[in-house]
Amino acid sequence: SVDPMTYEAQFFGFTPQTCMLRIYIAFQDYLFEVMQAVEQVILKKLDGIPECEISPVQIRKCTEKFLCFMKGRFDKLFGKMEQLFLQLILRIPPNILLPEDKSQEVLTYSAEEFQLLHKEIEQLQEKYKTELCTKQAFLAELEEQKIVQAKLKKTLTVFDELENAGRENGTSDFRESLVFLVQNSRKLQNIRENVEKEGK
């Protein structure tokens, strides 16, 4: 089973295996190129030797023999190096968390807890709206009360002014003055009746 090394890819931006493949192919290309250069130089040298019996085919066979050996050792050594690379260099140790995942360590909520949290937030939002509406209603009523109280106070003021008017006209207390008036008028009536009687 292939370990996709996704976490490493998240950190490096490439998969370690691809990186190793890239290095392997580059190294292998160099090995081939250098071998080709060696063969070219040898052939050129042989060209310079008169009546040389070594044919290019022979040299090619030598090259293939050496390359085959080198390639075998190359693959073996590279395999070891790749293993070490993937274990020691291009690996995120299991106990290490990448910076962007720091929050995973701090808090972990289950799906249910997360749902509950969302539900609580929605309830709080509704409650907050309700409280705000309540506040508006209270403020509106306080405004109304101000108006009503002003009207009622105005009415009371009217009564006070009436009383004051009475008082200003010598009648301190309107009710007493009326009683006094009634008594006076009854007295007047009695006097009148007496006067009429005596007159007869």
Partner 1 sequence: FDEIIVDIATKRKQYPRKILECVIKIIKAKRE
Partner 2 sequence: ALSRVKLLDTMVDTFLQKLVAAGSYQRFTECFKCFSQLQSEMSQRIYDKFVTQLQTSILEEIAEIKAEGNLEAVLNALDALVEEGKDRQEPAWRPSGDPEKDLRSPLLPYFLQQRDTLRRRVQRQEAENRQLAEQVLNGRRQVEELQLQCRARWQAWQALHREQKELLAVLRE
Q: Which does 24 bind (CB under 5 to 8 A by kind): partner 1, partner 2, none?
A: none
Using CB under 8 A as the binding rule, whether residue 18 contacts partner 1 is answered as yes
Among 2, 51, 57, 105, binds partner 2 (CB under 8 A): 105
Shortest distance in whole angstroms from residue 101 CB to partner 1: 8
Please work out, in degrees rounded to the nearest 5, the angle formed at the alpha carbon of residue 170 by the alpha carbons of 167 and 174: 50
Using CB under 8 A as the binding rule, whether residue 180 contacts partner 2 is answered as no
Angle of helix 111-168 relative to helix 174-199, nearest 10 degrees? 30
Q: Which does 52 bind (CB under 5 to 8 A by kind): partner 2, partner 1, none?
A: partner 2
Residue 153 or 194 having the CB closest to partner 2: 153
Residues 35 and 97: beta-carbon distance below 8 Å: no
Among 109, 176, 192, 193, binds partner 2 (CB under 8 A): 109
For residues 8 and 80, what is the distance between their CA atoms, to the nearest angstrom? 20
For residues 196 and 193, what is the distance between their CA atoms, to the nearest angstrom? 5
Helix, strand, coil in percent for the chain, rounding step 5: 80, 0, 20
Among 3, 47, 56, 125, binds partner 2 (CB under 8 A): 125
Please work out, in degrees rounded to the nearest 5, the angle formed at the alpha carbon of residue 152 by the alpha carbons of 149 and 157: 120
Residues 91 and 16: beta-carbon distance below 8 Å: yes
Both tokens of 170, joined, read 């010598």
Contacting partner 1 within 123-142 (CB under 8 A) = 125
Shortest distance in whole angstroms from residue 200 CB to partner 2: 21
Contacting partner 2 within 63-102 (CB under 8 A) = 63, 65-66, 69-70, 73-74, 77-78, 80-81, 84-85, 88-89, 92-99, 101
Site residues, partner 1 (CB under 8 A): 2, 4-7, 9-10, 13-15, 17-18, 98, 100, 125
